[in-house]
Amino acid sequence: MTKPLGLLVMAYGTPRNLDEVLPYYTHIRRGRAPSDEQLADLVGRYQAIGGVSPLTQITDAQARGIAAILNSDGGRPVRLYQGMKHTAPYIEDAVAAMHADGLDEAIGIVLAPHYSHMSVGGYQKAAREKAEQLEGPKLKLVNQWHLEPAFLDILTSRVREALAACSDPSKAVVVFSAHSLPERILQMNDPYVTQLHESGEEVARRLELKHYRFGWQSAGQTGEPWMGPDILDVLRSLKEEGYEEVVSCSQGFVADHLEVLYDIDIEAQQVAKELGIHLVRTRQMNDDKAFLQALADAVRKCERQGV
Ligand code: FEC
């Protein structure tokens, strides 16, 4: 009997409670503990969204959903492993588990649509290095899936739905955003910016949008310049241009988590309120079946290219 294909679903990870914020933040900062002020700021943001982020539950539902689709599509059966970038079970733990279970081949996918050396590339490096160290399983990695047709379909429908919640959709402007990264990626021939534009432009084309912009959100405090314009500045400029209704589409994220529930729903909403702008956010993908189908499609495509 053919052995199952390992399915490695990788995601960011989130602290399970407020006590775990310090080790989590320290891991994100590659082992450097944050200052007391930075820690208090982050704890405050988690408290503002209810104490914990729903990301773990959503990632789990997404991963199980993709595996369920793949195990009922008539293709090679998969065995699911979840690996997080910044919390246990780490990506390395998941690869070690696949190795211990005797799997020969696996496919890895990151729950983030656009590729950057600093984001998706980091997940892939962790998985690849562990598999090489253990001499198996043989890994094939999905690089990006921002142009997967089923993903574009649902992204388009989410923007359409948000526009419908505006009092005058023809005058509303859509802002497509993703997590900012340090500006130095622009010198690294990194595809991240191009990919954000590709998926946003495709949605704009399908909906024949006349008014849309691109922006960045959730920039870190690292002392180096991060890519802009930040979404808060985009809102200010849009107000100056005369817009009164804005649809925020955080297309770089696929779940309700801190960067959406705080950065958009609290911080950006506050700025919009001060500016007198009606801000409507598109619903995140979460465990929507149509979205999970898009990811399952990306996995099967990667498999066909030969593991
Ligand atoms: O809900 C949650 O608890 C977790 C939400 C979360 C997601 C996420 C996704 C991305 N990040 C990306 C890049 C960076 C870089 C740094 C950085 C820092 C943080 C901090 C928190 C955090 N990120 Fe994150 N990110 C999430 C949460 N991120 C918390 C630390 C405090 C802060 O800066 O706000 C800076 C690292 C450094 O200090 O050197 C860079 C990218 C993504 C989207 C792709 C992905 O999901 O992997 C890119 C979700």
pLDDT in tens, 220-240: 988 899 999 999 999 999 999
Tell me if 245 CB under 6 Å of ligand 1: no
Tell me if 51 CB under 6 Å of ligand 1: no
pLDDT value, residue 188: 92
Distance CA 99, CA 269 (A): 46
Tell me if 52 CB under 6 Å of ligand 1: no
The sign one gets for the Cα dihedral 254, 256, 262, 264 is positive
Tell me if 179 CB under 6 Å of ligand 1: yes
The 3-state DSSP class for residue 151 equals helix
Is the peptide bond preceding residue 191 cis, with omega within 30 degrees of 0? no
pLDDT value, residue 221: 80
Distance CA 228, CA 45 (A): 22
Contact yes or no for 246/173 (Cβ under 8 A): yes
Tell me if 152 CB under 6 Å of ligand 1: no
Q: Would you give per-residue pLDDT tens digits along the chain (307 residues)?
A: 678 999 999 999 999 999 999 999 999 999 999 999 999 999 999 999 999 999 999 999 999 999 999 999 999 999 999 999 999 999 999 999 999 999 999 999 999 999 999 999 999 999 999 999 999 999 999 999 999 999 999 999 999 999 999 999 999 999 999 999 999 999 999 999 999 999 999 999 999 999 999 999 999 988 899 999 999 999 999 999 999 999 999 999 999 999 999 999 999 999 999 999 999 999 999 999 999 999 999 999 999 987 5
- Ligand 1: which of 16, 28, 90, 262 to mutate, judged by most atoms within 8 Å of the beta carbon? 28
pLDDT value, residue 222: 85
pLDDT value, residue 2: 78
* Interior angle at CA 153, CA 151 and CA 159, nearest 5: 100
Total-model pTM: 0.97
Question: In ligand 1, which atom is closest to the CA atom of 219?
Answer: 33
ipTM reported for the complex, 2 dp: 0.96
- Return the exposure string of 78-111: e unless at least 16 CB atoms fall within 10 Å of the residue's CB, then b: bbbbbbbbbbeebbbebbbbbbeeebebbbbbbb
Question: In ligand 1, which atom is closest to the CA atom of 257?
Answer: 1
Measured in angstroms, how far is the CA atom of residue 258 from the centroid of ligand 1? 9
Q: How many residues does the chain have?
A: 307
Measured in angstroms, how far is the CA atom of residue 84 from the centroid of ligand 1? 12
Most distant CA pair in the chain: distance in Å?
A: 65
Contact yes or no for 138/101 (Cβ under 8 A): no
Question: In ligand 1, which atom is closest to the CA atom of 116?
Answer: 48
Tell me if 24 CB under 6 Å of ligand 1: no
Measured in angstroms, how far is the CA atom of residue 129 from the centroid of ligand 1? 22
Distances (CA, A) of 176 to 144, 183, 195, 271, 283: 18, 18, 12, 17, 13
